[in-house]
Amino acid sequence: IRDQAGTGTVKATQLWGALSATLVFLLGFRSNKAYQRFWDGTTLLHQMWGEWFDAASCLVAFSSLAMREAGKIHAVNDFRHTLVRLFSLIHASALDEISHAENAEEGYPTLDIGNLDQSSLAYLKMCKFDQELNFNRVEVIVHMLQTLVVHHQDSGVLKIPPPILSRVFQTLSRGQVNLANCKKITSTLFPFPYAQMIAVLLVCYMIMTPVVMGCLCEKAHWAFIFTLLPVFGTCSLNYISRELEMPFGQDYNDLPLLEFQEHMNKSMLMLIHKEVDHVPHTSEKCPHDFDDCKRGISTKRPRHFLDPQGDKPVPKQVAQEPKQVPKLPEPVKAPEPQLPAPSSLEQKIASLESAIHNITQVLVECADRLGTCTCANVRPI
């Protein structure tokens, strides 16, 4: 048969080597494309989060000017809280869309979307579940955000020039483009002809390998080992490639989409914190000289320079009353003896002579009693 097939001079190991080389080439090609899709997936998710957070941060910063007007504080707070809820919802909806979890009962955690107005919630439900509409929820929320920005720019909440405000719309669109690229990964799979060819060659490889190794090895255990290793390696490489080709999902080897959403929620909460309108500045003892600033280069963290006795920053719009500390009763001091102040030099001399006379009399009395000395000749001065 080998002579009729023209393979009389070809060894079985050469046929097995040719099959192995073809299979390894195809598996290497698939592994390369799978890892590229996996890396593109995590890159696009970070870019999508970065673009949308940048847009939200710019809008909150633009609204800080209106906080200085007492009549617009409520409107600014309403705008900010609506903004962060919509951005949290759009990020969660995007993750639902690329992970094919849109029809699940519960999705990714969002920031208190239940406190949005009822008309907005009704429209968000209708755009997804109404068969006549069947709108894309992410696109609906993007349009809501743009309408929200335009409305509050006209009402004076966003007191910023229109050319600068247009940057927000560009950032929103770039985030949506990154989402579209993520959807391209989920909707475009590895070409089926390549996958089919790899599956057929794997079956042939698993059949030929034990036959070839049985002919080459005299010991059965060596034939088993040399059969198991290449077959296990090629099959494992094929399964790993299949896992990496679809990086979005709920499997253990997929990207951590839940952590991305939790990161987005923390970023949005930061934008409504009481310190969000804090304006940084240098301290009173800060040197404004080039050489002094250069000498201040340090590897210490900001916490190392924090003064524990310093005052904490307080937002301008929040007035905090000082705490009333109960006062302790003051100790009662004993009255000090008040001596009459001499009015002239003569009074001081007279007082001194009187004191010396009294001391002399005391000494004479003591000497008489002890009998140690005679002080008869001592006369008062």
Using one digit for the tens of pLDDT, what is the confidence trace for 51-107? Answer: 999 999 999 999 999 988 888 899 999 999 999 999 999 999 999 999 988 777 788
349, pLDDT greater than 90: no
Tokens of 148: 């929200």
Tell me the pLDDT of the chain averaged across its residues: 83
Comparing C-alpha atoms, which of 78, 80, 81, 91 is closest to residue 141?
91
- Mean pLDDT computed over 150-171: 92
| The pLDDT value given to residue 325 | 46
| The pLDDT value given to residue 346 | 65
Most confident of 9-13, 122-126, 313-317: 122-126
Residues 86, 62 contacting (CB under 8 angstroms): no
CA pseudo-torsion sign 269, 275, 281, 284: negative
How far is it, in rounded angstroms, from Cα 114 to Cα 122?
A: 11
| The pLDDT value given to residue 192 | 93
| The pLDDT value given to residue 200 | 95
| The pLDDT value given to residue 128 | 84
How far is it, in rounded angstroms, from Cα 277 to Cα 287?
A: 25
Residue position matching structure tokens 């993007």: 142
Q: Indicate the residue type of 274.
A: K
Phi, psi of 109 (to 5 degrees): -65, 135
pLDDT digits (tens, 9 = 90+) for 301-325: 988 888 777 555 544 444 444 445 4
- Mean pLDDT computed over 127-143: 89
**What percentage of the chain reaches a pLDDT higher than 90?**
52
Under the banding of pLDDT at 50, 70 and 90, the label for residue 6 is very low
| The pLDDT value given to residue 178 | 95
- Of 188-192, 280-284, 292-296, 376-380, the one with minimum mean pLDDT is 376-380
376, pLDDT greater than 50: no
**What percentage of the chain reaches a pLDDT higher than 70?**
82
How far is it, in rounded angstroms, from Cα 190 to Cα 243?
A: 12
291, pLDDT greater than 50: yes
- Mean pLDDT computed over 152-177: 92
- Mean pLDDT computed over 318-346: 49
- Greater confidence (341 vs 216) lies with 216
How far is it, in rounded angstroms, from Cα 232 to Cα 244?
A: 18
Residue position matching structure tokens 């909460």: 269
- Mean pLDDT computed over 219-228: 91
Residues 109, 262 contacting (CB under 8 angstroms): yes
pLDDT digits (tens, 9 = 90+) for 15-58: 888 889 999 999 999 999 999 999 999 999 999 999 999 999 99
pTM: 0.73
289, pLDDT greater than 90: no
CA pseudo-torsion sign 66, 72, 78, 81: positive
